Amino acid sequence: MSNTKTVLPTEHCETCPAFTQLEQMGIKVGDFDRVIALAGNPNTGKSTLFNTLTGLKQHTGNWPGKTVTRAEGGFEFNKIRYKLVDLPGTYSLLSASQDEEVARDFILFGQPSCTIVVTDATALERNLNLVLQVMEITQHVVVAINLMDEAKRKGIEVDARSLSRDLGVPAIAITARSGEGIHTLLGAVADVIEGKIDIKPLRVSGTPEFQKAVNELVPMIEQMAPGIPNARWLAIRLLDGDARVQKALTTGELGDIVSRQQRADVQFSGKMSVEGRQ
Amino acid sequence: MEANEILAKAESLRNGLSTGFRDEIVKSLYTEAEQIAKRAVKTSVDKKYDFDQKIDRLVTSPYTGLPIMLGLLSILIWLTVSGANVVSGWLAVVLFGIGDFGRALFNQIGAPWWITGFIWDGVYLSLAWVVSVMLPPMMIFFPAYTFLEDLGYLPRVAFNMDWMFKKTGAHGKQSLTMAMGFGCNAAGVIATRVIDSPRERLIAILTNNFVPCNGRFPTLIMLATVFVAASFPPALTSLVAAATVVGVVLIGVAFTFLASWILSRTVLKGEASAFTLELPPYRKPNVSRIIYTSIIDRTIFVLWRAMQTAAPAGAIIWILANVPIGDSNLARAIADWLNPFGYLLGLDGVIILAYIIAIPANEIVVPTMMMVYMGAGMMVNGPTSNHAIFDLLVNGNGWTMLTAINLMLFSLLHNPCATTIMTIYKETKSVKWATLSVVMTLGTAIVVTFLTASIARLLGWV
């Protein structure tokens, strides 16, 4: 890929291995340059994409809810080492079941360099709800439109360009099982992290009075926990009366949760060999 | 800036907002998603989808859904039973043969009797037992089970059983975690994280142990084959044995419902919550992935764990069986002491002793039991055929059909293994719930076996 500012990666990279290089690194994630989170609705193929990228053999099963713990693995793309975190599938980030909390806490406090939201091409509308919610939390988002093979069989066509334009973040069509579109996807991820793509994530704003309330709360939160990356989202959750976020605020958890999350990341790699088996 | 100040501010701002603001946010989210999707997606007529729906209409119909489910479960268990019996026999011959060879070798080089005994009659024999009893059923069950999982059948099971769980006051997704329990109860307990409500999740955790895991299947299969199916013609053996195991599984499911019902009316009161469950499209399972997952991750993992507990258990039994007390030995003495309690449950002291030694892993109950019997009977090697096992238990140690049936019931209902108890503690972060999981299951096992034993004796069946 050239150094000029790319609008969106085109399909040509994918068939020319000379341009991009992917090396699976399994669970050797000790040294890495960037962290990528894999989010998405249940049963959209996150774990399959995880396995394709890392060469690991995380269990996949054709039922929603198969992954309940985080799994981590590594890969190298164009000489940059990535740590990939496979999150449990969730329909939203608003409710509080434990698997959704795992996903939400990581996107919120784990501060991944980029979050790939894996979506099901055959049920895009429902999947977009989560995409929009993730974009509320972080702007470093790439949408992977997975299961393109299934969509084709069902006579469903998805226009990735239209989706990218509307969402304001790259949307890449892939088939995780066969590896189709993977290089384009990783190219887009790299571009988002390096700031080579202009991302203007769409934010759902709600009513003007709501917007005003949010704007009043944000500076207060930023003052209490300096460096907190998602003050806007936290403000929205507080207005909604989210008990989990309220608790995090009063117990001071919010302040040190960032460092705790980073510590947990180190411990987790060792624990995975035990807990990852289901 | 104080946390309480922010909370108070948020509170007052929230009160200042018009009442429908939450709905407004959700609505704008959905409208946005709908519009974006409308612009990006084009759909033409589709045939595959119709085909999927036709299958689903059969598989999830109120009339044919449950029979199909029961049929698949029966086929799965029948494959496991009939295949396992053949392979177990071969494995036993080979592994016990190695034991004979090792013992002879040690005798020839003049090793002291207690070294030969400790290694070959204790540690090795226990390992050989565990491998020959456990490996074959797992090698067949896990791939078949993983196949159904990858195909997309599990959510259909949840769909079919949802109304039953709802009636007991539990969550419909409990059928998914119950299905995971067939592989391993600890995995089933972790899988309960898909259940949102803490109340229903606890019910799912506490009752998961009522489905037999792969550590307990071999016990059930062996007893069903050796005892229940023994009186039928050989051609029917595996069919009768499989039917028996299916029956035991159904009893386990019945206890799951009963316990869920009681829990949701006593300590975990509440209504069943609603949820949405997607029925994913059927997907062609990937053969190499199935083999990897089922053999490497599941079979080898479970077997390795069993071997780690079997080796020390073998050592302990050998020592117990070789500490002389009068003209008996320590193992016998403990078993005799436990005998009255065992008798009440329709079992005997050796079985109770075996269960105590096997607390770390249920897998080793049968090997432990056999070794105590053999140690007492001075048999040199493990019995390699069903006849030999029958002979050892019935003629050598006074087993009856009641012993076999009650051992199956006890194995089905008794307390979770140590790994599962630890997992329950980790998932609930509560000693109380972990303790309840043990007390509830063990209590059920004791009460049920006591009742069946008493009834059988009153009616003069044994």
Question: Confidence class of residue A100 from pLDDT cuts 50, 70 and 90?
Answer: confident
Chain B interface includes A156 (CB < 8 A): yes
Look at chain B and report how many structural domains it folds into.
Answer: 1
Q: Identify the domain containing residue B91 by its residue range.
A: 65-269+285-458
Residue spans per domain, chain A = 12-193, 208-275
CA-based nearest distance A162→chain B, Å: 6
pLDDT tens, position by position, A7-50? 334 444 444 444 567 777 766 656 778 999 999 988 888 889 99
* Burial class, B394, CB count within 10 angstroms (exposed 0-12 / middle 13-18 / buried 19+): middle
Q: List, in sequence order, every residue forming a beta bridge with A37; answer none if it has no partner.
A: A85, A115
The pLDDT assigned to B5 comes to 84
Q: Are A157 and B49 within 8 A, CB to CB? A: no
Q: Are B25 and A206 within 8 A, CB to CB? A: yes
The pLDDT assigned to B451 comes to 97
pTM of the model: 0.77
Spatial distance between the Cα atoms of A221 and A250, rounded to a whole number of angstroms: 12
Q: Are A213 and B278 within 8 A, CB to CB? A: no
Q: For all residues of chain A together, what is the average pLDDT?
A: 78
Q: What is the DSSP code string of A225-277?
A: STT-TTHHHHHHHHHHT-HHHHHHHHTTHHHHHHHHHHHHHHHHHHHHHHHT-
Chain B interface includes A226 (CB < 8 A): no
pLDDT tens, position by position, A39-95? 998 888 888 999 899 888 776 666 666 666 678 888 999 889 999 998 888 888 876
Spatial distance between the Cα atoms of B218 and B137, rounded to a whole number of angstroms: 7
Residues of B in contact with A124 (CB under 8 A): 37, 40-41
The pLDDT assigned to A270 comes to 34
Q: Does residue B179 lie in a domain region?
A: yes
Chain A interface includes B344 (CB < 8 A): no
The pLDDT assigned to B134 comes to 84
Residue in B9, B46, B280 nearest the CB of A62:
B280
CA-based nearest distance A128→chain B, Å: 5
Residue in A42, A166, A224 nearest the CB of B1:
A224
- Which of A63, A130, A136, A143 to mutate: most B Cβ within 10 Å? A63
Residue that has been written with the tokens 């995995």 in this structure:
B187
Instruction: Please tell me which residue of chain A has the smallest CA distance to B14.
Output: A239
Asked if residues B279 and B156 have their Cβ atoms less than 8 Å apart, the reply is yes
Contacts of A168 (CB under 8 A, 6+ apart): A199, A200, A201, A202
The pLDDT assigned to A268 comes to 40
The pLDDT assigned to B108 comes to 93
CA-based nearest distance A218→chain B, Å: 10
Residues of B in contact with A59 (CB under 8 A): 293, 297
Residues of B in contact with A102 (CB under 8 A): 193
Q: Are A97 and B194 within 8 A, CB to CB? A: yes
Asked if residues B412 and B356 have their Cβ atoms less than 8 Å apart, the reply is no
Spatial distance between the Cα atoms of A65 and A42, rounded to a whole number of angstroms: 6
Residue in B41, B146, B173 nearest the CB of A157:
B41
Q: Are A128 and B21 within 8 A, CB to CB? A: no
Tally C-beta pairs within 8 A across A and B.
193
Asked if residues B214 and B186 have their Cβ atoms less than 8 Å apart, the reply is no
The pLDDT assigned to A262 comes to 47
Length of chain B: 462
Tell me, rounded to whole angstroms, the distance of Cα B381 from its chain centroid: 29
**pLDDT reading at A273 higher than 80:** no
Q: Are B301 and A277 within 8 A, CB to CB? A: yes
List per-residue pLDDT tens for chain B, 462 residues long. 677 888 888 888 888 877 777 777 778 888 888 999 999 998 876 555 677 888 899 998 989 999 999 999 999 999 999 888 888 888 888 998 999 899 999 999 999 988 988 998 889 988 888 888 888 888 899 899 889 888 989 889 988 998 999 999 999 889 999 998 988 898 899 889 888 788 999 999 999 999 998 888 888 998 998 888 888 888 888 899 999 999 999 999 999 999 999 999 999 888 777 777 778 888 888 888 888 888 887 888 878 888 888 889 888 888 888 888 888 888 889 999 999 999 999 999 999 999 998 887 777 888 888 888 876 544 445 666 778 888 888 888 889 999 999 999 999 999 998 889 999 999 999 999 999 999 999 999 999 999 999 999 999 887
Look up residue B102 and give its two tokens. 């090792």
> Was domain A12-193 assigned CATH 3.30.1640.10?
no
The pLDDT assigned to B46 comes to 58
Q: Does residue B26 lie in a domain region?
A: no
* Burial class, B106, CB count within 10 angstroms (exposed 0-12 / middle 13-18 / buried 19+): middle
Asked which of A67-71, A184-188, A216-220, B50-54 is least confident by mean pLDDT, the reply is A67-71
The pLDDT assigned to B323 comes to 87
N-term to C-term CA, chain A: 40
The pLDDT assigned to A16 comes to 47
Q: Mark which residues 180-239 of B lie under 8 Å from A by CB.
A: 180, 187, 190-191, 193-197, 201
Spatial distance between the Cα atoms of A166 and A145, rounded to a whole number of angstroms: 14
Tell me, rounded to whole angstroms, the distance of Cα B407 from its chain centroid: 15
- Which of B5, B7, B9, B287 to mutate: most A Cβ within 10 Å? B9
Q: Does residue B43 lie in a domain region?
A: no
The pLDDT assigned to B12 comes to 86
**pLDDT reading at A131 higher than 60:** yes
Q: In what order do the strands lie in the sheet with A80-86?
A: A22-24, A71-77, A80-86, A34-40, A114-120, A141-146, A171-173
Residue in B30, B39, B201 nearest the CB of A162:
B39
